[in-house]
Amino acid sequence: MNLKLSYDDEQLALQDSIDGYCRRAGTGPLFAADEPLPKGFWSGLAALGVLTLGTEAGGGGVLEIAAAMETLGRRGAPGPLVGTFAATALLKPDEIDSIGSGDALVSLGQDRLFPWAPVASLFIEIDGVEAWLVTPQGKVDRCDTTGNEPWGFIEPTRVRSLGSAHSAIARAHVAAAAYLVGAAQELIELAAAYAKDRVQFNKPIATFQAVSHPLAVASMRLNASRILARGAAQRLDGGDSRAHVSSATARLSAIGSAMAAGYQAHQLFGAMGFTLEGPVGHLSHRIRQVSLLPPNQNYAHELVLDDLFDPKRERTAS
């Protein structure tokens, strides 16, 4: 299939709409310091139709989800976004309606760990290749997180099977990859702007190879991850039989490049980069949280490795 790696006019308009909304809402440092997920912000995303992207009611496909998540990542938007896009590929229309309106908050978990569990009302467990609608048995054992998100451990009681999790997991991988790419792009641009303004020895530090070269390498890695994420989204929309492998590859690539971008940003900003009110700390926290979201990296690694060593896989002679 032919891959088109730039967004069309409608997808760019979607990004502009989300970007404008996030700017008006004031996402950024300290936005979610007191309340991990401000209700008004989540309701606003629902009103924009973001939470139902890729569904029959909401329209669009996985590429629209990727476009939205890149912008939400750039703005450091909080919330169970990855879990939401996975859930809408699994649930019934009435359940999707409650998610799309912002009334129901999704917790997508694995191995008893459920992000956003303390505030969620819909719980989905990923167990291997199957998904289950579950309810917590007893109280949620809340755990601390780097990004101040309310994660928790639960004992899930299974209500009903939601069938194969392949499609939902692939969506989750692409959504996470796109968010990471967006957040990391913002970090690189902030770091580059700071390097041009910060003067040492009467020169901008951007002129020093020890500063500029690592930042350039981080930018190149990120561009590769962006291509993989958009390509995986198009393959999913096109029904490619290997799209699930492409989505896992995209997520693993995005985790690596986003973490590398975060490291370079912190190196440049120094101590200022680690403060909560600083220009990059909140994005770095988001990157770490999204990198750890279920379905976890081990699942993605297994998909890629199984495909790599699959004796039935078609090979292209060099």
Q: 53-73 pLDDT, tens per residue?
A: 999 999 999 999 999 999 999
At 184 the pLDDT is: 98
Identify the CA nearest to 86 among candidates 303, 205, 223, 244: 244
At 315 the pLDDT is: 52
At 317 the pLDDT is: 42
- Residue 42 CA to residue 103 CA, distance in Å, equals 9
Q: How far is CA 193 from CA 7, 49, 97, 128, in A?
A: 26, 33, 42, 44
**Cβ partners under 8 Å of residue 27, min gap 6:** 41, 75, 76, 77, 78
Q: Indicate the DSSP class of residue 55.
A: B
Ordered by start, the domain boundaries in the chain are 9-165, 167-308
Instruction: Note the CATH number of domain 9-165.
Output: 1.10.540.10
* CB-CB contact of 106 with 187 (8 Å): no
- Residue 39 CA to residue 35 CA, distance in Å, equals 9
Low-confidence ranges of the chain (pLDDT < 50): 316-318
- Fold designation for 167-308: Butyryl-CoA Dehydrogenase, subunit A; domain 3 (1.20.140)
At 276 the pLDDT is: 75
At 147 the pLDDT is: 80
* CB-CB contact of 131 with 163 (8 Å): yes
pTM reported for the whole predicted model: 0.95
